[in-house]
Structure 1
Amino acid sequence: MSFNWKNQTVVLTGAYGGLGHVLAEALSEQGADLVLLGRDSNKLQQLQSALKHTSDVVVGDISDRTTTSALKTLLENKQSPEHMLINNAALSDASFLNNSDEADIENVLKVNLLTPIVLSKQLMPWLQQAEHARIINIGSSFGGIGYPGFSTYCASKFGLRGFTQALNRELINTTVNAQYLAPRAMATGINTSAVNALNEKLGNAVDKPQKIARWIISSIEKNHSEKFYGWPEKLFVKINALLPNMVSKAISKDQKTIQSYLNKKVNS
Structure 2
Amino acid sequence: MQLKGKTVFITGGTGGIGAPLVQLLEKAGADVTVYSGRRDGDLVENLDTVCERLKRDTPDILINMAGDNVLDYCERQDMDRLVALNMLAPMRLTQAVLPAMKARNSGQIVTMGSMVGLIPLPHVTGYAAAKAGLKGFSDSLRRELGGTGIAVTHIAPRAVSTPMNNGIKAEVNQRTKVKSDSPAKVAQRTFQAIVGREREVRFGWPERFFAMLNALLPSVVDNGLQSNRRIGESALNGKQESHVQRAAT
| Percent of matched pairs sharing the same residue | 31
Residue 72 of structure 1, CA deviation: 4.0
Q: Deviations over 1:112-141 (max 9, x none)?
A: 111111110011123234452111111000
Q: Post-superposition shift, 1:218?
A: 1.7
Question: Is the contact made by 1:5 and 1:32 (CA closer than 8 Å) also made in structure 2?
Answer: yes
Q: Once superposed, which parts of structure 1, at least 4 consecutive aligned residues long, lie more than 4 Å away?
A: 263-267
From 14, 17, 22, the counterpart of 1:16: 14
Aligned to 2:158: 184
1:137 is aligned, of 94, 111, 114, to: 111
The answer to whether the Cα contact below 8 Å between 1:149 and 1:258 also exists between their aligned partners in 2 is: yes
Conserved 8 A contact 1:184-1:233: yes
- The amino acid of 2:62's aligned partner reads L
SS of aligned partner of 2:219: helix
Q: Which runs of 5+ in 1 are unaligned?
A: 42-58
Question: Could you tell me how far 1:262 is from its partner in structure 2?
Answer: 3.6
CA distance in 2, matches of 1:227, 1:262: 32
CA distance in 2, matches of 1:11, 1:176: 15
- Using the size of structure 2 for normalisation, the TM-score is 0.89
Which residue of structure 1 aligns with residue 172 of structure 2?
198
Structure 2 counterparts to residues 172-251 of structure 1, below 5 A: 172-251=146-225
8 A Cα contact 1:195 1:261, kept in partner: no
- Aligned pairs for 1:61-80 within 5 A: 61-63=42-44, 64=46, 65-73=48-56, 75=57
CA distance in 1, matches of 2:105, 2:153: 17
Deviation per residue, 1:45-101 (Å, 9 max, x gap): xxxxxxxxxxxxxx233342233334444x26x6xxxx111100001121111332x
Q: Shift of the alpha carbon at 1:158?
A: 0.2
**Which residue type is aligned with residue 91 of structure 1?**
D
Aligned with residue 252 of structure 1, among 202, 226, 246: 226
Distance, in Å, in 1 between the alignment partners of 2:189 and 2:108 is 17
What code does the residue aligned with 2:163 have? G
Deviations 1:127-173 (A, max 9, x none): 23445211111100011011101010000000000000011111111
Q: What is the one-letter code of the residue matched to 2:198? A: H
In the TM superposition, what is the alpha-carbon distance from 1:7 to its structure 2 partner? 4.2
Q: What TM-score comes out, normalization by structure 1 length?
A: 0.83
Q: Deviations over 1:211-255 (max 9, x none)?
A: 001111122233321221123111111111111111111111332
1:93 to 70, 77, 81: 70
**Correspondence for 1:56:** none
> Match of 1:29, as an amino acid?
K
Q: Distance in 2 between matches of 1:235 and 1:7?
A: 39
Correspondence for 1:48: none
Asked if 1:161 is matched to 2:156, the reply is no
- Contact (CA 8 Å) 2:8, 2:32: kept in 1 or not? yes
Q: Tell me the distance in 1 between the aligned counterparts of 2:230 and 2:10.
A: 39
Considering fraction of residues, name the structure with more helix: 2
- Give the 3-state SS of the residue equivalent to 2:159 in structure 1: coil
In the alignment, the residues of structure 1 paired with residue 14 and residue 187 of structure 2 have an alpha-carbon distance, to the nearest angstrom, of 14
Question: Is the 1:61–1:67 contact (alpha carbons within 8 Å) kept by the matching residues of 2?
Answer: no
Question: Whole-Å Cα distance in 2 between the matches of residues 261 and 120 of structure 1?
Answer: 37
Equivalent residues, number = 239
Distance in 1 (CA, whole Å) between partners of 2:202 and 2:30 is 24
